[in-house]
Amino acid sequence: MIRLSAALDPTSPGPTAAPGSTSAPVGVFDSGIGGLTVLRALLAELPHERFAYLGDTARLPYGTKSGETVVRYSLHAAEALLDLGVKCLVVACNTASSVGLQAIRELIGPLPVIGVIEPGAEAACRASRSGHIAVMATERTVSGGAYQQAILRRRPDARVDALATQLLVALAEEGLSEGPIAESIARHYLGALFEGGAGSASIPDTVVLGCTHFPALAPAIRAVVGPRVRIVDSAETTACAVRDELSAMGIARASGASEVQYIATDGTERFARIGSRFLGRAILPDQVELIDL
């Protein structure tokens, strides 16, 4: 693996495109395949860009790990993408964004790093009429308080209920995103908070999907929270933030077809099979490169 000093040196024999050039790829990483929902939004928003997506499937889930472990794993993933000469890094993992973003920024220096929590909080504050917002996330994201803090910075009068909804991750990966099983688990987590019906002063009017797996479960979540509650997925907002950052730095790729390099740390067949559902397009196992972090 090319070390950091080499990855940032344009004379290094490593990447073919110097980091920061318009032709360099945008790096995206997640603990597994959930971040492909963010990649899907990026492909729609930035149709000319090249992307390198890394799913750390050998070490998922990050959401139940200690903060120190998540930071260490996140730095490994960031460095692997730096070796490819990326011009920008998207941390498409809510858990890694909640505890590892600063460490990643210190590692990669001048290259832009964009997480999913700040765009998600921004979207939630815009969407909420009452300021009562529920956040569904992993244990680590909830305990770290990153969403709560990001929302309250923007809207000090907000009331935030953060719920650790870990079982939904497994449901999404198994493809059980709709039907009685998914709705039952969603109701297990959300039923008490939303009992009484939308519109009550004690009921959140906005739900943030604070894990990249959860957009796949939006129908089941909708069935529990009702039709009037706004559901915020940070993927689209994150994609817009990346677009704006690349444009501001003058490193957006203005022409050419999009390209994606898929990288996993374990299970290429599973990555391709489940990832195809999250991405909304076919991924073949032989398109997935296996690496060891």
Quick one: pLDDT at residue 12? 35
Domain span at 153: 118-234
pLDDT at 276 over 80: yes
> Do residues 140 and 187 both lie within one domain?
yes
Quick one: pLDDT at residue 27? 98
> Do residues 22 and 71 both lie within one domain?
yes
According to DSSP, the residues that pair with 231 across neighbouring strands are 207
Q: Which of 216, 234, 252 is the last residue of a domain?
A: 234
Q: Which of 234, 253, 276 is the last residue of a domain?
A: 234
> Do residues 145 and 93 both lie within one domain?
no
Active site residue 93: yes
Q: Which of 211, 234, 257 is the last residue of a domain?
A: 234
Identify residue 70 by its one-letter amino acid code: V
Strands 50-55 and 206-209, by their bridges, are: unpaired
- Percent of the chain's residues with pLDDT above 70: 91
Question: pLDDT by residue (tens digit) across 165-212?
Answer: 989 988 888 878 888 999 999 999 999 998 765 455 689 999 999 999
88, 93, 125, 240: the catalytic one is 93
CATH number of the structural domain spanning residue 185: 3.40.50.1860
Q: What is d(CA 107, CA 93) in angstroms, rounded to the nearest whole number?
A: 18
Q: What is d(CA 102, CA 95) in angstroms, rounded to the nearest whole number?
A: 13
pLDDT at 2 over 50: no
| 186, 209 Cβ separation under 8 angstroms | no
Q: Say whether pTM exceeds 0.75.
A: yes
> Do residues 216 and 246 both lie within one domain?
no
> Do residues 17 and 78 both lie within one domain?
yes
Give how many domains the chain has, as a whole number: 2
| 33, 243 Cβ separation under 8 angstroms | no
